Amino acid sequence: MQQLRSATALAGAFATALALGLAGPALAETWDLPMAYPASNYHSETAEAFAKAVTERTGGELEIKTHPGGSLIGGAEIYSAVRRGIAPIGERLMSALGNEDPLFEIDAVPFLATSFEDARKLYEASRPELEALMDEQGLVFLYATPWPPQGLYANKPIETLDDMAGVKFRAYNAATSRLAELMGAVPTKIEAAEISQAFATGVAESMISSGSTGYDSKLWEYVAYWYDTQAWLPKNMVFANKSAWEGLDEETRAIVREEAAKAEEAGWAKAQELSDWYKDELAKEGMTIEAPTEALAEGFAKLGETLTEEWLAKAGESGSKVVESYRGM
């Protein structure tokens, strides 16, 4: 049936092309866009608006369909799926790709960039390298948007790092796993779609994330504290498979690029706009939202130094170059 339908579509497209006197038929395409975060999250909404705009502006010639919440492909598999052409386009948390290349982790280096303004600079400084790296991997980078600053969720008051000893910690990338280890906590990598279940069943008791993901996961049902450590602002990125991209005509590619640039601006604005709102919502649900104690902040700063050193050692010259150019901005 599927085959029959595409055969009919093909014949229709040929007929239209002949009628228009075109050299070759432009076939309408549907691109499924797998995403890891829930439909109601602003990252997903931004990608949905991007998908709609591309679909409309190309007159349906390129239809992009979003699939939030890991419903089509789980978060951990999205990058390799797009790389292998299983999905033509996808969205993924950049810093979860440290195994591909340490450069992807640059926005999860603790205290390197802790405000939206600095996060934007770090992004501008790293973007050319990221684009080149992804190009080598058979991918086309389209846009990236940030999460609000990362804070510490816990099921009990945390006054110093010692209070984290033995705590079951949900990690979302290698850097947060390592951070947990250094705190003496016990890390487990868990995708956002499984956070609520992990906290409900006691698999996780703590995590570092934004107010955004705590809000999406209704974390107040399981933990009472969020410490505003402002540790870093990680990003999600949207990227396409290079062969799929090269299959698009130039006009379509230009439309995708334009809409990606708009989505990027919208995503950065939305993240800033919602950052405090999320904290207020967590507080309204009864959570204690506090700045870390001096001792906790100091403990984190020390861990941050260790993690920065470790990252610089891994990321080598290209990593140091990006950090240097960021610091010079």
44 sits near ligand PCA (criterion: CB under 6 A): no
Stretch that binds ligand PCA, among 128-136, 180-188, 208-216, 238-246 (CB under 6 A): 208-216
Q: Which helix (H) or strand (E) holds 43?
A: helix 42-57
Stretch that binds ligand PCA, among 14-22, 50-58, 98-106, 210-218 (CB under 6 A): 210-218
Q: How many amino acids of this chain bind ligand PCA (CB under 6 A)? A: 9
Q: How far is the CB of 260 from ligand PCA (least distance, A)?
A: 21
Task: Find, among 54, 154, 41, the residue nearest to 93 by Cα.
Answer: 41
Task: Find, among 101, 105, 74, the residue nearest to 90 by Cα.
Answer: 74
Three-state secondary structure readout of 111-152: CCCCCHHHHHHHHHHHHHHHHHHHHHCCEEEEEEEECCCCEE
- Supply the DSSP symbol for 148: P
Pick from 44, 46, 58, 210: which binds ligand PCA (CB under 6 A)?
A: 210
Q: How far is the CB of 173 from ligand PCA (least distance, A)?
A: 8
213 sits near ligand PCA (criterion: CB under 6 A): yes
252 sits near ligand PCA (criterion: CB under 6 A): no
Site for ligand PCA in 49-108 (CB under 6 A): 93
Which of 153, 311 has the CB closer to ligand PCA?
153
Pick from 31, 143, 147, 245: which binds ligand PCA (CB under 6 A)?
A: 147
Residue 251 CB partners (closer than 8 Å, separation 6+): none
Stretch that binds ligand PCA, among 45-53, 207-215, 271-279, 289-297 (CB under 6 A): 207-215
Following CA atoms 18, 53, 144, 297 in sequence, which dihedral angle do they give, to the nearest 10 degrees?
-160
State both tokens at 83. Answer: 């790389």
State both tokens at 56. Answer: 């409309």
**Closest residue by beta carbon to ligand PCA:** 210
Phi-psi region of 162 (alpha: psi -120 to 50; beta: other; left: phi over 0): alpha
Distance from chain centroid for Cα 104: 11
State both tokens at 159. Answer: 């006054």
Distance from chain centroid for Cα 154: 23
176 sits near ligand PCA (criterion: CB under 6 A): no
Stretch that binds ligand PCA, among 79-87, 153-161, 206-214, 309-317 (CB under 6 A): 206-214
31 sits near ligand PCA (criterion: CB under 6 A): no
**Could you give the string, one character per residue 180-199, with x where binding to ligand PCA holds by CB under 6 A and - elsewhere?**
------------x-------
Q: What are phi and psi of 209, to 5 degrees?
A: -165, 180
Which of 78, 256 has the CB closer to ligand PCA?
78
Please tell me the distance from the alpha carbon of residue 24 to that of residue 133, in angstroms, as a whole number.
33
Residue 287 CB partners (closer than 8 Å, separation 6+): 214, 219, 220, 223, 224, 225, 226
Pick from 145, 177, 209, 230: which binds ligand PCA (CB under 6 A)?
A: 209
Pick from 234, 267, 292, 299: which binds ligand PCA (CB under 6 A)?
A: 234
Site residues, ligand PCA (CB under 6 A):
93, 147, 172, 192, 209-210, 212-213, 234
